[in-house]
Amino acid sequence: MDAFVETLAVRPAGEGPLIAVRNAFRRSLEQTQADDNIRDGEPRYLAVISLIDSTPTLLAPSPRHLYDNSDKAARVLAEREGVDLDSDLRPRLLIGICAIILGLVHRDWRIQGRDGFESMLALLGAYADQLWPTITGRWGASCQSG
């Protein structure tokens, strides 16, 4: 989470909040890949994600860890956007949504065969691409035509 927060803090000011969060996560994951040690043929970050995801006693506290640490990211996002974190819900809401997306990416990555960072980044992109249409659009098949 620290690498993500640090990367978010230095994103270009012209990026909107969702794009900044998406790009910060992607960049922090790419940096993790570049800096990561390989262990048993797999980068350490991915090995840790696999271990957490496959061990119920490690997986159970994972949401709590994200909850406890998401405030740092929300604070950076609020500062970046010039809003008051205590009165504006949007920074916490966006970081919370992105934390959930990260959990979904990890789950799908594991289920789909754990093909390394590129597949994780592709899943992140797929979820991020669907976020705005999911929030603002209609979902039913009858809504597709008009």
- Total residue count of the chain as it appears in this document: 146
Residue 49 in contact with residue 102, Cβ under 8 Å? no
Domain membership flag for residue 26: no
Domain membership flag for residue 47: no
Residue 88 is predicted with a pLDDT of 93
Domain membership flag for residue 140: no
Domain membership flag for residue 15: no
Domain membership flag for residue 64: yes
Q: Out of 48-57, 78-87, 120-129, pick the least confident.
A: 48-57
Q: Out of 22-26, 84-88, 129-133, pick the least confident.
A: 129-133
Element (H, E) at 43: strand 42-43
Q: Please count the structural domains in the chain.
A: 1
The domain of 75 spans: 1-7+60-135
Domain membership flag for residue 126: yes
Q: DSSP for 69-107, please give it.
A: HHHHHHHHHHHHHT--TTT--HHHHHHHHHHHHHHHHHH
- Written as six digits, the tokens of 21 are 């969060």
101-121 b/e with 16+ CB inside 10 Å = b? bbeebbeebbeeebeebebbb
Residue bearing the bigger pLDDT, 37 or 111: 111
Domain membership flag for residue 103: yes
Percent of the chain past pLDDT 70, that is, above it, reads 87
Can you tell me the distance from the alpha carbon of 41 to that of 134, in angstroms, rounded to the nearest whole number?
Answer: 37
Residue range 84-98: average pLDDT? 92
Start-to-end CA span in the chain (Å): 41
Residue 12 is predicted with a pLDDT of 93
Residue 40 is predicted with a pLDDT of 65
pLDDT category at 72 given cuts 50, 70, 90 is: very high
Residue 3 is predicted with a pLDDT of 84
